[in-house]
Amino acid sequence: MKVILNSKRDWELIRDSEKMLYLLDKKLEGRQLFLKHSVPPAEFNREPSEGGVVQFYYAPTIPVNANFTLYLTLNRQIELDFHVEEIVEPGHLKARPAEVRIGKSMREFPRIPVRDDSVVVTNFRVSKNEIAPNNTKLQITNQVIFSDFEKRLGARFEGVKIHAPYDPKFPDYLKGFAETDGAVVSAPQGPAYAQPVIYESESGEKLIIAFVVVPGELDPVAAQELKTAADEMIKRIIDANTFLIKDKQKVMNISEGGIAILFT
């Protein structure tokens, strides 16, 4: 499950008027521009610049501020700031470019825009909290889940405890545990079996959310039971930190890396 965050970009800035107009008229000729922050994205059509000014045509119902930003969905994000010179009529204005920003990092996958509600999605889950050991909201949710599993497992494994890495009382003997499979550890009271509760992110990174610890050593059957319980715990954590969207939602664009969805 991937959480999408608003992160800062590194930009290449262009403020020279001639360079900005050359970019618009030559390099981006025929490319579609969209108004930033408009939902759904509002398309702005344009004519070649004249005297440093560009004429734009757009839906008359779209409000446009004196300073506005257009963007393109290319391999690199491109944003263009404009200052309105004249509102000719609703849906038609003249503007002068003020700044162009080009993302220094290339997109991992190109985007394919989707229009006219031609593609929709339904019955999918959305994350409420980032699933990570240092997420405070997740920690609060997990307290209830861990307590429930301790009670359930206590009937099978005497003395079982669930320890989370963020707990102030997290045992020292678990701090160096880096295995992804269960293993015997040396606890102060003697040998114990530690089963990590692991969440695998979309990128493949494995995060240890907690440890299930049982005093003594376990036979293969008992060890497998503990691993199964750890897998069930992760499913409970995911369910508790996501919600199901059943209504149809519009797909805005598609790439090999995923899809952008407009929530309504």
Condensed to tens digits (0 to 9), the pLDDT of residues 111-152 reads 666 666 667 777 766 765 555 555 545 666 678 888 999 999
- One-letter amino acid at 23 equals L
User: Domain check: are 103 and 140 in the same one?
Assistant: no
| Residue 136, φ and ψ in degrees, nearest 5 | -65, -45
Same domain, 76 and 159: no
Q: What percent of the chain has pLDDT over 70?
A: 80
Q: What is the number of domains present in the chain?
A: 2
Residue 125 lies in a domain: no
Q: Phi/psi at 123 (nearest 5 deg)?
A: 55, 60
- CATH number of the domain where residue 48 is located: 2.30.110
Q: CB–CB of 119/225 below 8 Å?
A: no
Model confidence pTM above 0.75: no
Domain check: are 142 and 68 in the same one? no
226-242 mean pLDDT: 87
The verdict on 88 and 22 lying in the same domain is yes
Give the mean pLDDT of the chain: 83
250 domain-assigned? no
Per-residue pLDDT band at 4 (split at 50, 70, 90): very low
Residue pair 64/58 in contact (Cβ under 8 Å)? The answer is yes
Q: Give residue 204's domain range.
A: 136-243
CA dihedral 30, 34, 36, 37 (to 10 degrees): -160
Higher pLDDT, 66 or 61: 66
Q: Is residue 237 one of the residues assigned to a domain?
A: yes
**Would you say residue 223 lies in a domain?**
yes
Cα–Cα distance between 180 and 203 in angstroms, integer?
16
Same-domain status, 103 and 141:
no
Same domain as 172, residue 99: no
Classify residue 62: in a domain, yes or no: yes
pLDDT given for residue 142 in this prediction: 76
112: tokens are 């394919």
Residues 237 and 147 in one domain: yes
Quickly list H helices, the chain: 17-22, 136-154, 220-240
Q: Which two tokens stand for residue 188?
A: 């102060």
